[in-house]
Amino acid sequence: MEIVNLGYRTDLAVLGLSGSSVHDAGEYVVARTPDNPGFWWGNFLLYRTPFAPGDVKRRVDDFRREFPDAEHIAFGIDTTGGEIGAEDELAAAGFAVEPAVVQTAGRVVPPPRPNEQSTYRFLSSDDDWEQVFHQSLACAELEVDAPYEEFTRRKVATRRAMVDSGHGKWFGAFDGDRLQSSLGLVFDGAVARFQSVQTAPEDRGQGLAGTLVHHAATYGLTRAKTLVIVADPDYHAIRIYRAVGFTDAETQLQFTRRPA
């Protein structure tokens, strides 16, 4: 299937490599992760066109038909310039619009403030992955309740399986054996997609993320020609990525209506 947006193209590739199903239904693409129904961006519809007047209701009906038991609704649009369409209808229907910046790099430079005190290496043990799970909870932007913990546990297990099968690598910055910062890199041919750059709250402000991104990117370019990372335009991390050589390439749009 042809996907124009590089962010969504690599999203779908990662989902496919991690065991999710990706089906081209013509007007839209269905991404489905039945083993983790709480994973909104593993269970969503990607439309090929912006929202025309009247599309919101029709597309909600599409989603309900494809995911009758889902509590959330999640849409994407396969465009590169950020065209939304009927924003007033989306707002009236309770959807949040979340723009992101798709960044790419074919070469990288060291961060301006590298952290040389920590150790940078691949995750290699049960304890390393257990620390990723707890770090993910500590970095969560949503309320951490039992369903969120279960979602996170399943997502970490899927990522470990993907690494074990040779489709990616997970990297960590460590103080001794304690995980401070982590991220993933998943390979799809000549492209490598970054996943979940996160630093424990108590370890922020030490240059860990920039150093780890550079470390992982340097490795990634030994296996791929293009690195892809998707960043929140309003979050400080986007400046870290730019500082090591990533440039803004496209806009990616996500539309969500959270469970009641």
The pLDDT tens digits for 9-45 are 999 999 999 999 999 999 999 999 999 999 999 999 9
Q: Phi/psi at 172 (nearest 5 deg)?
A: -140, 150
The pLDDT tens digits for 171-226 are 999 999 999 999 999 999 999 999 999 999 999 999 999 999 999 999 999 999 99
Q: Which of 84, 60, 12 is nearest to 257 (CA)?
A: 60
pTM of the predicted model as reported, rounded to 2 decimal places: 0.95
- What is the band of 141 on the pLDDT scale with cuts at 50, 70, 90? confident
Tokens representing residue 125 in the block: 């043990």
Residue 121 · residue 171 · CB < 8 Å: yes
The pLDDT tens digits for 84-137 are 999 999 999 999 999 999 999 999 999 999 999 999 999 999 999 999 999 999
Residue 110 · residue 213 · CB < 8 Å: no
3-state secondary structure the chain: CCCCCHHHHHHHHHHHHCCCEEEECCCEEEEECCCCCCCHHHCEEEECCCECCCHHHHHHHHHHHHCCCCCCEEEEECCCCCCCECHHHHHHCCCEEEEEEEEEECCCCCCCCCCCCCEEEECCCHHHHHHHHHHHHHCCCCCCCHHHHHHHHHHHHHHHHHHHCCCEEEEEEEECCEEEEEEEEEEECCEEEEEEEEECHHHCCCCHHHHHHHHHHHHHCCCCCEEEEEECCCCCHHHHHHHCCCEEEEEEEEEEECCC
On the question of pLDDT at 229 being above 90, the answer is yes
| Beta-bridge partner residues of 251 | 101
CA atoms within 13 A on the CB side of 249: 18
CA atoms within 13 A on the CB side of 95: 24
Residue 115 · residue 206 · CB < 8 Å: yes
Q: Which value, in Å, is the radius of gyration of the alpha carbons in the chain?
A: 18
Residue 151 · residue 35 · CB < 8 Å: no
